[in-house]
Amino acid sequence: MDELRCSVVWWLQLIFIWLSIDLIVIATGWYIVTLKQYFPNWWEQVIACEVKAGFDLDAELMDLPNIGLGSKVAK
């Protein structure tokens, strides 16, 4: 009886996981088909609205020991 209960619980968990993944896929497809046309490249528009044209950041390399492009090793 215990093996049957474990089997049923296992199948219920599998079905729950499958339905969760399926719901994500359905929601993504629905977004692509319906809403995406109203929000084309919204992240680029947000960046364009917040950053002025010709804005330049004064950036210089930092001397970090063996980390990233600013390190002496990467130069």
Answer whether 32's CB lies under 8 Å from 39's CB. no
Supply the range of the domain harboring residue 28: 1-75
* Overall number of domains in the chain: 1
71 CB burial (10 A radius; 0-12, 13-18, 19+): middle
Residue 1 is predicted with a pLDDT of 64
> What is the residue-level pLDDT of the chain in tens, covering all 75 positions?
678 788 899 999 999 999 999 999 998 888 878 877 776 666 666 655 665 666 666 666 666 566 555 444 544
Residue 34 is predicted with a pLDDT of 81
Cα 59 to chain centroid, rounded: 27
Residue 71 is predicted with a pLDDT of 46
